[in-house]
Amino acid sequence: MLVFRGGAVSRDDVSPSVPQAHVEKWHRWADELARRGRRNVGTALENGGKSVGGHERIVTDGPYAESKDLITGSMIIEAASLEDAVEVARQCPTYEFGGSVEVRPVQGEGG
């Protein structure tokens, strides 16, 4: 699983063409992964949300984190190994805007 953190383009800081071009890079990258049979499921996340936490299960507005740490999306890919998944993650467009990718193995059935 690839977990994307940060890397969101602020539309206030750049011309309207920059976010569109960045989204197109994401689509091309994801399409290439699909053509290679690697991509299973992926999605971008909206900015808002709620957090539920603690023994009392208190609901608060969120998520609140520094923008560079905010999870902006995820993707599950097919990879031969963790190292193979890291190589896929290294090609991600998120780095253009300071994003990062956390690469995590997903447990198999019964795992």
Task: Kindly indicate the confidence band of residue 11, based on its pLDDT and cuts at 50, 70 and 90.
Answer: low
- Domains (range + CATH), the chain: 2-103 (3.30.70.1060)
The Cα-based distances of 64 to 11, 57, 61, 71 in angstroms read 20, 17, 8, 10
**Which of 11-20, 54-63, 89-98 has the weakest average pLDDT?**
11-20
Question: Is the pLDDT assigned to residue 110 strictly greater than 60?
Answer: no
Mean pLDDT of 83-105: 94
The Cα-based distances of 105 to 16, 42, 98 in angstroms read 36, 15, 23
CA distance 98 to 9: 9
Looking at every residue in the chain, the average pLDDT score rounds to: 85
pTM of the model: 0.79
pLDDT tens, residue by residue, 50-91: 888 889 998 888 766 666 678 889 999 999 999 999 999 999
Residues in CB range of 97: below 8 A, 6 or more apart: 6, 7, 8, 9, 22
Residue, of 48 and 59, whose pLDDT is higher: 59
